[in-house]
Structure 1
Amino acid sequence: MAREEVTWLSTREAARQLGITTRTLYRLIDSGQVPAYKFGRVIRLKEAEVDAFVEQARIRPGALEHLYADGGPDDEEL
C-alpha cells in the first residue's frame, strides 16, 4: 500500500495562497471551514485541503444577482 505524498503549508504560506491575512485564516480554521493540524506548537495545513476549500468557495453563476441593479451586471454605468 503506497502512501500519498502530502504537501504541508505553514499558516503564512496558506494565507498567502488564499490572499488573506493569517488572522482571517485562523478564524477559518477555528470555525472548521479549513482543516488544520497542530504538531506541538506548529499549525500546518494540507495543500490539497486548502485547494479544496478554494473550490468550495467558488461562486455559482447567478448567485450574485442581489448585488447589482435590476437590469443585470451589464447595466452598470462606468
Structure 2
Amino acid sequence: MVDTQARRAADDLTVEQAARLLSVSKMTVYRLVHSGELPAVRVGRSFRIARRDLDDYLRRSNPRILGG
C-alpha cells in the first residue's frame, strides 16, 4: 500500500523550487502565496506548494502553457 501522504509530500515544492520553475524571485512567489493566487500550506515557518497547484496557476496565467 502506497502512503498517499508521503506521495503528496513528494509532490510539494519549496518556495525556492517554485521560484526556479517559474523563473521568478522567491519574493514574487511569496507575494503570489500571500495574495491567494498560488495556494500553499504552511509547514512550520515555511510554505509548501503542491505541484498541481503550481501547474494550475501556470494554466490560469498563460493558457498556452502546459496545453491549457
**What TM bracket, shorter-length normalisation?**
0.7 to 0.9
- Please name the residue that 1:25 is paired with: 29
The 3-state SS of whatever aligns with 2:39 is coil
TM-score of the two chains, using structure 2 as the length reference: 0.76
Matched, 1:52 2:52: no
Higher helix share: 2
SS of alignment partner, residue 17 of structure 1: helix
RMSD: 1.8
Structure 2: state its 5+ residue gaps: none
Q: TM-score, normalised by structure 1?
A: 0.67
* Cα separation, 2, equivalents of 1:54 and 1:12: 16
Counterpart residue type for residue 38 of structure 1: R
- 10, 16, 38: which is aligned to 2:14? 10
Aligned residues: 59
Q: Structure 1 segments of 4 or more deviating over 3 A?
A: 2-5
* 1:25 partner letter: V
* 1:42 Cα offset (Å): 2.1
The structure with the largest alpha-carbon Rg is 1
